[in-house]
Structure 1
Amino acid sequence: MTSQHQEQAAARGLLRAVSQSIGYDVAAVWGRAIAAVPRARFLPDRVWLLHGDAYDVCDRRDAPERWLASAYADAPVVTQINDGREPDDPADAWPSCSASAPSIVIAMLDALDLTAGTRVLEIGTGTGWNAALLAHRLGDANVVTVEVDPALAARARSTLASLGYAPTVVCGDGRLGWAPGQAYDRVVATCSVRRIPPAWIAQTRTGGTILAPWDSPWICGGLVQLTVGDDGSAAGRYSPDSAFMLMRTQRPDLLLFRDVVHDDHQPTESVTTLDPWSVADAGVETQFALGLRLGDLWYAWHHDPEVDGVATRLWVATTDGTSWAAVDWDGTEDAGRYTVWQHGPRRPWDEVEAAYQWWLDNGRPGPCRFGLTVRPDGEHRAWLDTTTNSWPLR
């Protein structure tokens, strides 16, 4: 079988896998687009594949069959690590660009509800595959895509051109959108955000849609789909099943033992009966709700912290680094009681307990019961079930 035939067979297999994953047949318009713009053409020869808790290098020249299988699997493929600067130690590798799983790509394209003539602004060009699918469906003139990384933008532009596509590829800060192309009918992000940038709302026509993966300091996951109002606001609901890399310009630069916890801190001691595993590394329903209620709190596990009588410690801290809590488990099975240490003007563990109780009292809501309103002044308000039951995101 020739390479071209192998690629065509792999693409057909990918369509079947995507249909199975999303629970319905891929629309014919997207099936034709996938056939016209093969995913493999947009991947670099050197990619990284998740193996356990680490990433393995997969080079097309050394492992062509594995590389091709990854190109047509319904799974994400990491195409860049560490913003393009490979670390000396492979264990220090972290993904900075990827080709998203095709099933989430198709699900998001379906959610955009595109028709002929729809103008789309994409934030996060990445490999360029998603932009190619959009250009195939809508035409080059109706697609603008913005990429912050010059090398990625240049490569995507070249790959698109090699297949006969010429959407507008802008190298710039995605937070700013691209004003010369406004007003857009749709804005779609392929990176997650913690806040909706004002420019996205300003550059979207009234009644238009913004679709973006969501991230909170507590958990990365979920999509938010907003409709832009005529007063400059945007509102809509969340849905589950999405995890994307955080927009580079919204990344935090905070380390626990560099910026938060210091030797001279004198924390207060208390006891809790709330199992720390009930709120951290818990199910998506729990953590998504906590992320919206807690706003600016994040957590980190510390196993075997070399503290007498402590087997595992859960750290919780504010994103400004001014307050922290540590919840200690002594290793006893079914302990029931955990020592809590808290420092700073806020008491983060108290806030976690209150948020968890709120979640229980409201029937353990999952992502689909939550929504978001971005007001004209930029204030973000999360809400449960209706906009009247809202609170400001911190």
Structure 2
Amino acid sequence: MLVAVREQLGGPPPARLRQAFHRVRRHRFLPGRIWLRDGSGGYEPVDRAADPDRWAAAAYSDEPLVTRFTDGQPSSSASMPSMVVRMLLLAGLGEPRGSRQGAGARVLELGTGTGYNAGLLCALVGDRQVTTVELDPVLAAEAQENLKASGCAPTVVVGDAADGWPPGGPYDTVLATFSVDRVPPAWLGQVRSPGGRIVVPWASAWCTYGTLALTAGRAGRAEGRFHSFASFMQMARPDPDRPETAGPGSVPKRCGPRSGASAAACASTTLSPWAVAGGDLDAEFHIGLAVPGASFAWDTSGEHAPTRLLVDDATTGSRATVDYDGRSAAAFSVTQAGPRLLWDEVTTAFRRWEELGRPGVDRYGLSIEEGAAELWVDSPGTAVTAR
């Protein structure tokens, strides 16, 4: 497994991380049935009893392994080891002993899952220094058993990860194993100030990609950059109707269209829908930040057009469709309806991305001060959106 991790990183991980991976064995945290990507957008099961060799090979591959499905969708997984290493490095947990993020650092992990990552944290900083929070009590109990069997004894808490765990703070490191669209205020209040680190995968309604690494300053301030790796499941919440405070890129809850939504307006565009939703993660990441709440889906059924891009904001009931007629890619038909002209917003965001020099994810950053978040490119003050 570490050979594959080394290939992904372009070199070996630090000695402390290698030792942790040798001590905490991944297979001990996996159930008897896991699911692998099948290459067609789905998953195929692998049973340890029926195919032990394939199961063992998967356990030590550098691949994400789904460990649980809920309502037909993956709801828990074992992350790619190379992604785990990258996040631990961003958190400073590969640093030498004696550093604030080294051995003896207090770590809050959010999203226990199988318990594997918590086990690695125990090997790095010590059992008594690790607190891990899991929303699902069944998963928490299973993780605790896995950890115990591996000789690890962190504090395992059943709770809402958005609230952190104040009794164990302040923490030198807050590390999430799921993606968010904003940084919960509780995390900022529980990380050591100054110098504590928060590392969390990122998501927007448009694009789930990237990892944010923040360093806490004084008086509730934090600042850091995004990094171009990781695509994690989004943070689960105990109550889907719980109100949220909107933040940059916040993913809104689903609801019906507002009354008084504007009638559909038809036009055309020269911006290709594939330019903004065709797999260019840099462009999609930017649009996710610049057009919060907007999501997309492709329709290739041919019912309305040979290919249609649907753009939606469920909070306002706004929608846009962009149709390719199967002949000319010079212009596309656009229909927009609702309070937001979503395709106009997407177009403005894409032009701003071009104006900024088509920046990659690593050029973006986030500053938080007194509860207000500012997204920027290259340095604070260079706005993601056009002024």
Q: TM-score, normalised by structure 2?
A: 0.90
Partner residue in 2 for 1:279: 276
- Choose the corresponding residue for 1:361, options 351, 355, 363: 355
| CA-CA distance at 1:62 after TM superposition | 1.0
Residue 329 of structure 2 corresponds to residue 350 of structure 1: no
Counterparts in 2 of 1:260 and 1:61: CA distance versus 1, 3 Å: farther
Counterparts in 2 of 1:19 and 1:260: CA distance versus 1, 3 Å: farther
| Mapping of residues 309-388 of structure 1, within 5 Å | 310-332=305-327, 334-376=328-370, 378-388=371-381
What is the count of residue pairs matched by the alignment? 363
Indicate conservation of the 8 Å contact 2:252/2:315, yes or no. no
Partner residue in 1 for 2:138: 151
Distance 1:299 1:74 in 2: 30
- Specify which structure has the higher proportion of strand: 1
Partner residue in 1 for 2:89: 110
Distance 1:160 1:293 in 2: 41
| CA-CA distance at 1:325 after TM superposition | 0.6
Distance 2:126 2:162 in 1: 24
Distance 1:260 1:192 in 2: 27
Distance 1:266 1:389 in 2: 36
Counterparts in 2 of 1:280 and 1:261: CA distance versus 1, 3 Å: farther
Write the letter of the residue equivalent to 2:355: D
Residue 23 of structure 2 corresponds to residue 36 of structure 1: yes
> What is the root-mean-square deviation of aligned Cα atoms in Å?
2.0
- Specify which structure has the higher proportion of helix: 1
Write the letter of the residue equivalent to 2:86: A
Post-superposition CA distance 1:190-243 (Å, at most 9, x none): 100001000100000112110000001110000111111211121111110111
Write the letter of the residue equivalent to 1:267: A
Write the letter of the residue equivalent to 1:131: A
Partner residue in 2 for 1:221: 209
Counterparts in 2 of 1:176 and 1:97: CA distance versus 1, 3 Å: same
Residue 128 of structure 2 corresponds to residue 141 of structure 1: yes
| CA-CA distance at 1:304 after TM superposition | 2.0
| Mapping of residues 8-23 of structure 1, within 5 Å | 14-23=1-10
Partner residue in 1 for 2:44: 56
Point out where structure 2 has 5 or more consecutive residues left out of the alignment.
94-101, 241-250
Indicate conservation of the 8 Å contact 1:254/1:321, yes or no. no
Bigger drift between 96-105 and 51-60 goes to 51-60
Counterparts in 2 of 1:261 and 1:65: CA distance versus 1, 3 Å: farther
Counterparts in 2 of 1:149 and 1:167: CA distance versus 1, 3 Å: same
| CA-CA distance at 1:335 after TM superposition | 2.7
| Mapping of residues 199-218 of structure 1, within 5 Å | 199-206=186-193, 207-218=195-206
Q: TM-score, normalised by structure 1?
A: 0.88
Partner residue in 1 for 2:147: 160
Write the letter of the residue equivalent to 1:346: R
Distance 1:363 1:319 in 2: 31
Point out where structure 1 has 5 or more consecutive residues left out of the alignment.
1-13, 88-92
| CA-CA distance at 1:281 after TM superposition | 2.1
Indicate conservation of the 8 Å contact 2:256/2:314, yes or no. no
Distance 2:340 2:292 in 1: 13
- Choose the corresponding residue for 1:292, options 289, 292, 302: 289
Distance 1:337 1:109 in 2: 46
